[in-house]
Amino acid sequence: MSNNKRPLLGLSVGDPGGIGPEITAKALALEEIYGICRPLVIADFELMKDAVRIANVKLGLNRVKEPNEGKYNFGRIDVLDMQNVDISKLLYKTVTKENGKASFEYIKKVIQLAMDGKIDATVTGPINKESINSAGFHYAGHTEIYSDLTKTKDYAMMLADDNFRIVHVSTHVSLHEAINRVKKDRVLRVIHLTYNMLKRLGVDNPRIAVAGLNPHAGEGGLFGTEEIEEITPAIESAKAEGINAIGPLPSDTLFAKAKGGEYDAVVAMYHDQGHVAMKTAGFVYNKDKQWSAVSGVNVTLGLPIIRTSVDHGVAFGKAGEGRANPQSMIQAIKMAAQLAM
């Protein structure tokens, strides 16, 4: 496939002290990745040199200043060198403001490149929220940084593992605030964002299941009235527009049915309702106390640019040791390439 047909993806590696650089190197050690995209790593050059060593992959590095300088051939990672890590002082497994500052700068740069039309999509590695905030950047997470820097007000987080997809009405807020955010307009907006993404992914007449907030979806008002007052009116409005929205449904059985193919996506009411379901399905922690699977992709809906991400954190416990699983990063790259085509 010629270069001009392969989308150009910007990969920000996340916190330098976590597993992001390592899993990026491992993902780019797969020749198949270069068949579907042109990956440009946004990171410190010396950091990526160390990541290649830690990952134990036989790859060279190509330092660039602009995306058009990249070669994008398998065997050599193109790195847009941010020159913001002193490798002699780098601390793996540790929260530091230096690592937080560097990781924020990677995100800011990859967003800028996408907004300027110099890359076709962005893929993000894991950040540490404490490190980011200690560096003076007060955000709850990646999604909030993207919404701020792209000036996007209406957005939502989608977690996806193959055809199992969950979109959230709210994410990084307290449970009390999450309940307060279950309003008709917001639920309807998330249904719209979900519908548009499913259509973009090639799903005809998407089946969108909407979870209830309360146990048993409120049991007719016995356990709460949000389903009656906010969620059902949103679903009815979506149906009036021709969207195949179903619910509100009890979440204790809903996600199992969605995983089995009953629905194309689920609208979850809050962070843990969706995240626990996705990570129970996609993550496997084995008897050796290792993650043998970390499957899943995080996609931000509603942005003017494409953003996919790994669906896990920095994993300080194994950072710098060479045993991090790149599965989620590989999936995130593949989805970004698909959306950018």
171 and 65 in one domain? Answer: no
229 and 110 in one domain? Answer: no
What pLDDT is stored for residue 290 in this prediction?
73
- Among 264, 279, 294, which residue terminates a domain? 279
137 and 45 in one domain? Answer: yes
13 and 64 in one domain? Answer: yes
Are 113 and 61 a contacting pair, CB within 8 Å?
no
* Phi, psi (degrees; rounded to nearest 5) at 231: -75, -50
d(CA 176, CA 206): 31
Structural domain contains residue 296: no
12 and 138 in one domain? Answer: yes
Phi-psi region of 83 (alpha: psi -120 to 50; beta: other; left: phi over 0): left
148 and 26 in one domain? Answer: yes
What pLDDT is stored for residue 286 in this prediction?
79
The total of structural domains in the chain comes to 2
The angle that helices 142-149 and 97-115 make with each other, rounded to 10 degrees, is 40
What pLDDT is stored for residue 285 in this prediction?
74
96 and 21 in one domain? Answer: yes
248 and 163 in one domain? Answer: yes
Q: What is the CATH number of the domain that holds 274?
A: 3.40.718.10
136 and 16 in one domain? Answer: yes
190 and 109 in one domain? Answer: no
The one-letter code for the residue type at 157 is M
35 and 135 in one domain? Answer: yes
pLDDT tens, residue order, the chain (341 aa) = 345 689 999 999 999 999 999 999 999 999 999 999 999 999 999 999 999 999 999 999 999 999 999 999 999 999 999 999 999 999 999 999 999 999 999 999 999 999 999 999 999 999 999 999 999 999 988 989 999 999 999 999 999 999 999 999 999 899 999 999 999 999 999 999 999 999 999 999 999 999 999 999 999 999 999 999 999 999 999 999 999 999 999 999 999 999 999 999 999 999 999 999 998 887 777 777 776 667 789 999 999 999 999 988 999 999 999 999 999 999 999 999 999 98
Structural domain contains residue 289: no
- Among 279, 313, 332, which residue terminates a domain? 279
Q: What is the DSSP letter of 325?
A: -
Q: Are strands 76-81 and 164-168 parallel, antiparallel or unpaired?
A: unpaired
What pLDDT is stored for residue 4 in this prediction?
66
Domain containing 237 equals 156-279
Structural domain contains residue 160: yes
Other CB atoms within 10 Å distance of the CB of residue 56? 11
Structural domain contains residue 297: no
Q: Is the pTM higher than 0.75?
A: yes
